[in-house]
Amino acid sequence: MRLLPLLPLALLAQAHSPPCTNKTDATRDAIMEIITSPHTDEVDLLAAKSLYTLSKWQKKHDRNNTCTIENAVRRREWSNLSGRERIAYTDAVKCLQRLPAKTNSTYAPGAKSRFDDFVVTHIEQTLSIHDTANFLTWHRYYVYTYEKALRDECGYEGYQPYWNWGKYAKDPIHSPLFDGSETSMGGNGAYVNHTGVLITGTPAPYDVIPPDQGGGCVTTGPFSNMTVNLGPLAASISGVPSNPLPNGLGHNPRCLRRDVNKNSATVTTSNYTYALITESETLARFQRVMQGEFSLGKWGVHTGGHYTVGGDPGGDFFASSGDPTFYLHHGMIDRVYWLWQLQDLSTRLNEVAGTITLGNVPPSRNGTVDDVVGLGVNAKGVRLGELLNTMGGLGREFCYVYV
């Protein structure tokens, strides 16, 4: 740990090399603030370095951009929010769960709140937004739109926090995210005997994520009284009552269940994330490694994070966004995508890879920057190309960095 403060000093020296204008000072100050936070892993250090890269790149290639590191929104790690800030966040989520839905209730009787509107959209589009060309940009837009709803509709003054998996991977149950305190995202589920999560198409012993100490209803923390309304469609745990409608959109009120699972978290330690960012030469490979190379027995950080929560609906491929931790997990997915883009901005701000069907089944055309990315009742459809740059995409609405 003693080595960590040394690297930032070296970086700071670099930042001084041009004559110190006020703008340079502001950039340096912004980055210093970021790198002095309690960062502990190689991904965080890469993030600090990458902010220098971004600042240099903007000076060279993007001078006219009004979105800069100094004025960009800073999305922060859960443990870097104060207790008060964390409660403001979970209060805003609970507010979204009380606001009336916009979704047509004849079509989706299970959509009872604005929170549920987002779940409906994820359920509806599941097969065309995973292992597809739009996976990263669709989820980027989804998390952004959710953050905006928390702010605009529920008076939340902060921004979307993310879950740096590596920080808690060794002991997620006792982490600030899942310890069940009032400043957590809610606790583990009560213990129930279950078989673990089966991962089809994966060789033994990686074909199952062994169960951990939960599996039942969450009884502690801010979401202990939460009602799950939609799904299931692909429950990863037994004993979940079926939805009255085959499309999962009927009303099916039940408790929130979790199995906060260190076995799943083993593939989310920071070395996996670091390797994913630094060793994926192409976008196709980056997407594949992130989402799992199942035939090779590799779950990927995307799967690993989802099943660190597991349960119902967290472990349901379709309804997973019905567990509020989804947005912190996908905040980190977006951070990792952003970090990967920062390693080669000139190429990666313009790149799309993959087709428009899950795993290209059935075979389909390649996705393009002109494809429309839609979020149902939650936001207007936009060109995929508008979602590639967090510093000015979405008609200049996007302007955020991760710290």
Ligand X SMILES: *[C@@H]1O[C@H](CO)[C@@H](O)[C@H](O)[C@H]1NC(C)=O
200 is a contact residue toward ligand X (CB under 6 A):
no
Gap between the Cα atoms of 55 and 34, Å rounded: 14
User: Using CB under 6 A as the criterion, what x/- string covers residues 328-367 for binding ligand X?
Assistant: --------------------------------------x-
- Which residues, 6+ apart, have CB-to-CB distance to 241 below 8 Å? 252, 254
Q: How far is the CB of 59 from ligand X (least distance, A)?
A: 12
Gap between the Cα atoms of 185 and 156, Å rounded: 16
Gap between the Cα atoms of 356 and 364, Å rounded: 6
Residue closer to ligand X by CB (options 317, 379) is: 379
Q: Is the peptide bond before 232 cis (omega within 30 degrees of 0)?
A: yes
- Considering just the CA atoms, what is the radius of gyration of the chain in Å? 21
106 is a contact residue toward ligand X (CB under 6 A):
yes
With H, G, I as helix, E, B as strand and everything else as coil, classify residue 84.
Answer: helix
Listed ranges 123-131, 132-140, 252-260, 264-272: which one lies at the site for ligand X (CB under 6 A): 264-272
Listed ranges 45-53, 197-205, 218-226, 335-343: which one lies at the site for ligand X (CB under 6 A): 218-226
User: Using CB under 6 A as the criterion, what x/- string covers residues 20-39 for binding ligand X?
Assistant: --x----------xx-xx--
397 is a contact residue toward ligand X (CB under 6 A):
no
**Is the torsion defined by CA of 398, 401, 402, 403 positive or negative?**
negative
Among 14, 104, 242, 350, binds ligand X (CB under 6 A): 104
Residue closer to ligand X by CB (options 61, 174) is: 61
Residue closer to ligand X by CB (options 34, 384) is: 34
Q: How far is the CB of 311 from ligand X (least distance, A)?
A: 17
Q: How many CB atoms lie within 10 A of CB 146?
A: 26
| Phi, psi for residue 86 in degrees, rounded to 5 | -65, -40
With H, G, I as helix, E, B as strand and everything else as coil, classify residue 217.
Answer: strand
271 is a contact residue toward ligand X (CB under 6 A):
yes
Strands 382-383 and 372-373: antiparallel
66 is a contact residue toward ligand X (CB under 6 A):
no
Residue closer to ligand X by CB (options 107, 397) is: 107
Residue 132: closest CA among 375, 356, 386: 356
53 is a contact residue toward ligand X (CB under 6 A):
no
Listed ranges 65-73, 155-163, 221-229, 341-349: which one lies at the site for ligand X (CB under 6 A): 221-229
Token output for 63 = 């001078």
Max distance between CA atoms of the chain, in angstroms, equals 67
Q: Is the peptide bond before 244 cis (omega within 30 degrees of 0)?
A: no
| Phi, psi for residue 214 in degrees, rounded to 5 | -115, -140
Listed ranges 9-17, 43-51, 162-170, 220-228: which one lies at the site for ligand X (CB under 6 A): 220-228
Residue closer to ligand X by CB (options 304, 317) is: 304
191 is a contact residue toward ligand X (CB under 6 A):
no
- Which parts of 142-171 interact with ligand X (CB under 6 A)? none
Q: How far is the CB of 28 from ligand X (least distance, A)?
A: 13
Among 7, 20, 198, 275, binds ligand X (CB under 6 A): 275
CA atoms within 13 A on the CB side of 238: 7
User: Using CB under 6 A as the criterion, what x/- string covers residues 280-319 for binding ligand X?
Assistant: ----------------------------------------
Gap between the Cα atoms of 78 and 17, Å rounded: 34
Quickly list DSSP for 137-151. HHHHHHHHHHHHHHH
224 is a contact residue toward ligand X (CB under 6 A):
yes
% helix, strand, coil for the chain, step of 5: 45, 10, 45
Residue closer to ligand X by CB (options 70, 148) is: 70
Interface with ligand X (CB under 6 A): 22, 33-34, 36-37, 64, 80, 82, 104, 106-107, 193, 222, 224-225, 269, 271-272, 275, 366, 403
